[in-house]
Amino acid sequence: MSETKAAPPPPKRPRPRLDAINRPFWTGGSEGKLHITHCNDCGEWTHPPREFCRHCQSENVGPEAVAGTGVIDTLTVNHQAWMPGLEVPFVIARVRLDGAPGVVLTTNIVGSPVDAVDFEDRVRVTFEEQDGIWFPLFEKVEG
């Protein structure tokens, strides 16, 4: 019999390189805030964050905290361990954010069994910190 290999530790989340444009999104969780780029001229939202408003091309844009709630637009239950040690299955979803029309976040739905997550479920952000990045994950809210 060959020796049983120890299970590899769970992988870290792949991390973005922070810059002036994406930092408010990836670090807002340190204050419990979900920041989305908002235009102070036309009032529209731009995501992913950019230096210019994607609706009116204004430079008068900046991070604005949204409610952090939303609705599951679509999802997939992932069964493939793309990285060594990745625990499966888990839910990858697109969440439509309340208060920021047109913005969708790819995220994970945590805190529920995978088969308890469905389209149109209401969800709320919960942050997971790792090496100075606050990853916005979502969990189901009742009602």
Partner 1 sequence: MTKLIEAYVTGVGQSEVGVRLTRSPMGLTMDAIRQAMDNAGLTFDQIDGVATYPGRISTFLGFSPIGTDEVIETCGIKARWHMGAGEIPAQLSAIAEAANAIKTGQARHIICFRTVYEAAAMSRPEEFPPLRREFVDGGSQWTAPFFAISAACWVAQYANRHMKRYGMTREQLAQVALNANRSGLANPNARAISKKPLTLDEYMEARLITTPFCLYDCDRFTDCSTVIILSAGDALDEVRSTPVRIAATAGAVERYSWDQPEWMANYATGPDLWAKTDYRPKDVDTVQFYDGFAFFPITWLEALGFCEVGEGHRFIEGGTRIARDGELPLNTGGGQIGAGRLHGFGFAYEAVLQLTKQAGERQIPGDPKVAVATSGGGPMAAALLLARD
Minimum distance from CB of 131 to partner 1 (Å)?
Answer: 11
Residue 27 binding partner 1, by CB under 8 A = no
Is residue 61 within 8 Å of residue 52, measured between CB atoms?
A: yes
- What span, in angstroms and rounded, lies between the C-alpha atoms of 73 and 120? 6
Exactly one of 39, 53, 66, 133 binds partner 1 (CB under 8 A); which one?
133
Residue 113 binding partner 1, by CB under 8 A = no
Which of 33, 138 has the CB closer to partner 1? 138
Residue 107 binding partner 1, by CB under 8 A = yes
Count CA atoms closer than 13 A to 84's CA, side-chain side. Answer: 5
- What span, in angstroms and rounded, lies between the C-alpha atoms of 129 and 134? 4
Which of 2, 80 has the CB closer to partner 1? 80
45: left (phi over 0), alpha (psi -120 to 50) or beta: beta
Handedness of CA 61, 106, 101, 35 (dihedral sign): negative
- What span, in angstroms and rounded, lies between the C-alpha atoms of 137 and 100? 17
Residue 17 binding partner 1, by CB under 8 A = yes
Which of 66, 137 has the CB closer to partner 1? 137
Is residue 24 within 8 Å of residue 63, measured between CB atoms?
A: yes
Residue 60 binding partner 1, by CB under 8 A = no
Exactly one of 52, 55, 77, 140 binds partner 1 (CB under 8 A); which one?
77
Minimum distance from CB of 13 to partner 1 (Å)?
Answer: 5
Contact positions toward partner 1, by CB under 8 A? Answer: 13-17, 22, 47-48, 73-80, 82-83, 86, 90, 92-94, 102-108, 119, 133, 135, 137
